[in-house]
Chains A and B, each alone.
Chain A
Amino acid sequence: MLLPLAAVVSKAFGGGADAFWHAVSDRQALAALRLTLILSLVVTAVNAVMGTLIAWVLVRDEFRGKSFVNSLIDLPFALPTIVAGLTLLALYGPRGPAPFNIAYTRIGVATALLFVTLPFVVRAVQPVLLTLDRESEEAAESLGASPWVTFRRVILPSLMPAILSGGALAFARALGEFGSIVLIAGNLPFRTELASVFIYGSIQSDDTQAAAAVSVVLLLLALVVRGLIAALDRWGRRHEG
Chain B
Amino acid sequence: MTGIVVSDVSKSFGDFVAVDDISLTVPDGSLTALLGPSGSGKSTLLRMIAGLEEPGAGQIVIGGADVTRTPARKREIGFVFQHYAAFKHMTVRDNVAFGLEIRRADRAKIRSRVDELLRLVHLEAYAKRYPSQLSGGQRQRMALARALAVEPRVLLLDEPFGALDATVRRDLRAWLRRLHDEVSVTTILVTHDQEEAMEVAGQIVVMNGGRIEQVGSPRELYEAPANDFVAGFVGPVTELAGSKLRPHDVDIRIDPVDGAMEAQVRRVTHLGFEVRVELEAGDGRRLWAQLTREEAEQLELMDGQIVYVRASRRMPVALA
A residues adjacent to B (C-beta < 8 A) = 133, 135-136, 138-146, 149, 153-154, 157-158, 239-241
Contact = CB atoms under 8 A, between A and B. Distances in A.
Contact of A239 (B51, B81, B85, B131): B131
Contacts of A139: 79, 81, 85, 87, 143, 146
A142 B89 contact: no
Contacts of B150: 143-144
Nearest to B143: A139
Nearest to B86: A136
Interface of B: 50-52, 71-79, 81, 83, 85-90, 98-99, 102-103, 130-132, 143, 146-147, 150
B52 A157 contact: no
A141 B72 contact: yes
Given A239-B131, A239-B132, A143 B146 contact: yes
A232 to B, nearest CB: 14
13 contacts: A135-B83, A139-B143, A142-B52, A142-B73, A143-B73, A143-B146, A144-B99, A145-B102, A153-B98, A157-B90, A158-B89, A239-B131, A240-B88
Nearest to A156: B89
Main secondary structure of the interface of A (DSSP, over half): helix
Nearest to B77: A142
Contacts of B52: 138, 141-142
Contacts of A141: 52, 71-73
Contacts of A133: 83, 85, 88
A143 B85 contact: no
Nearest to A142: B79
A149 B52 CA distance: 17
Contacts of B51: 142
Contacts of A145: 73, 98, 102
Contact of A142 (B87, B88, B147): B147
B102 A149 contact: yes
A142 B72 CA distance: 5
A146 B98 CA distance: 12
Q: Which of A139, A143, A149, A154 has the most CB of B within 10 A?
A: A143
B55 to A, nearest CB: 17
A136 B85 contact: yes
Contacts of B103: 144
A164 to B, nearest CB: 14
Given A143-B147, A239-B89, A138 B99 contact: no
B87 A136 contact: yes
Contacts of A135: 81, 83, 85
A117 to B, nearest CB: 27
- What are the 6 tightest A-B residue pairs by CB atom distance, in nearest-first order? A143-B99, A135-B85, A142-B79, A139-B85, A157-B89, A136-B85
A16 B164 CA distance: 67
A146 B74 CA distance: 9
Given A144-B102, A240-B132, 10 more contacts: A136-B88, A138-B72, A138-B81, A138-B85, A139-B87, A141-B73, A143-B150, A144-B74, A149-B102, A239-B89
Contact of B73 (A144, A239, A240): A144
A142 B102 CA distance: 11
Contacts of B75: 142
Contacts of A240: 88, 132
Contacts of A143: 73, 78, 98-99, 102, 146-147, 150
